[in-house]
Structure 1
């Protein structure tokens, strides 16, 4: 009898080991099935998207899509040319403004140098009149300099506006170019798909 109980215990241990092995195999098979189900779902979703794209592509003839793409490309080239012309105009404007400011500074320095007077001899009535005239000239020059500073600030503001506008145009051009490239790629994919059919 003790032999039979011992055999039963060893058989039970062996069965428990087999159950553990089968349990791990079952877990592995479950994880594999989940992975395969996910792949199947992804393939179904891809198939649905391809069918939607084919429906959209079939609604418009390919020649019309190509004509639209070419039209957009021409429009992009025109915008890029305009962008280049605006940049050149901006550079011209900046160099002209720098030249004007340099001349203005030279002129004001000359005027300041010419308007210097000998303050030691300014005790006489005559010199008082000269001082008053010089003060008026200095006030006029100060007003001119203030106007020039305002113009300089306006120029900087306008330059910033032009640069901001060019940046937004550039971003718009880039997005249009991406859209055009995506349309080209989609058209090529559709052509390949229709050729495969």
Structure 2
């Protein structure tokens, strides 16, 4: 069986092409291997540094850090509880303020109605109109004094509530700043890691 020269050349070209592919794949595997070796070397170096740092820190430092973290954790829990209570108190005060304002509006409407009655009486004067006017004036005066007392009480309550709201806002701001400081120092992350 005679093999032609063209066939030999063709087979030789295929072999050369395959050799080039293998060479390329080998280079690629070599570069990957080098990358992995570098990564392993870096990990070993990191591990050695961690061990060195761990051996350098004393157990008393660790204990003091743990005590500090536990103290901050308790303070944060207290602050969170207090913050929830303040929010509930604020909601209660807002509800009371709304109730006071609705009563104020009711009294104002009654006063307007009484003024309308007074106006009608003045327009429809009769022999008994002076007595009616006097009686209505007395009623209006009584209603006005009741209204003034109610307004004074509402003003006092409103001032107290505004002072309390300002105090609550200040406390809430301080709590948020403390919480932000704890987060910035990483105390919250350490606590959550220890709890889990």
TM over 0.5: yes
The TM tier, using the shorter chain, reads 0.5 to 0.7
Q: State whether residues 182 and 188 of structure 2, in contact with CA within 8 Å, keep that contact through their aligned partners in structure 1.
A: yes
Once the 2 structures are TM-superposed, how far is the Cα of residue 93 of structure 1 from its aligned partner? 1.6
Matches within 5 A, 1:41-120: 43-44=43-44, 46-47=46-47, 50-51=50-51, 54=54, 57-58=57-58, 61-116=61-116, 117-118=118-119
What is the CA deviation profile of residues 105-143 of structure 1, one whole-angstrom value per residue up to 9, with x for unaligned ones? Answer: 11111111111133695599x99xx9xxxxxx9xxx9xx
Counterpart of 1:21 in structure 2 is 21
- Structure 2 stretches of 5 or more lacking a match? 138-143
What is the CA deviation profile of residues 140-183 of structure 1, one whole-angstrom value per residue up to 9, with x for unaligned ones? Answer: x9xx8xxx8xx79x95xx96995697478358538737624425
Q: TM-score, normalised by structure 1?
A: 0.55
Matches within 5 A, 1:22-37: 22-33=22-33, 35-37=35-37
Q: TM-score, normalised by structure 2?
A: 0.55
Q: Out of 187, 192, 195, which is 1:179 matched to?
A: 187
Taking structure 1 as reference, are residues 61 and 119 closer, same or farther at Cα in structure 2, changes over 3 Å only? Answer: same
Once the 2 structures are TM-superposed, how far is the Cα of residue 62 of structure 1 from its aligned partner? 2.6
What is the CA deviation profile of residues 58-82 of structure 1, one whole-angstrom value per residue up to 9, with x for unaligned ones? Answer: 4853321221122112212331232
Give the number of aligned pairs.
168
- Structure 1 stretches of 5 or more lacking a match? 131-136, 189-197
- Give me the whole-angstrom Cα distance separating, in 2, the residues matched to 1:71 and 1:179: 10
Counterpart of 1:192 in structure 2 is none
SS of 2:20's equivalent?
Answer: helix
Q: State whether residues 72 and 187 of structure 2, in contact with CA within 8 Å, keep that contact through their aligned partners in structure 1.
A: no
Once the 2 structures are TM-superposed, how far is the Cα of residue 103 of structure 1 from its aligned partner? 1.8
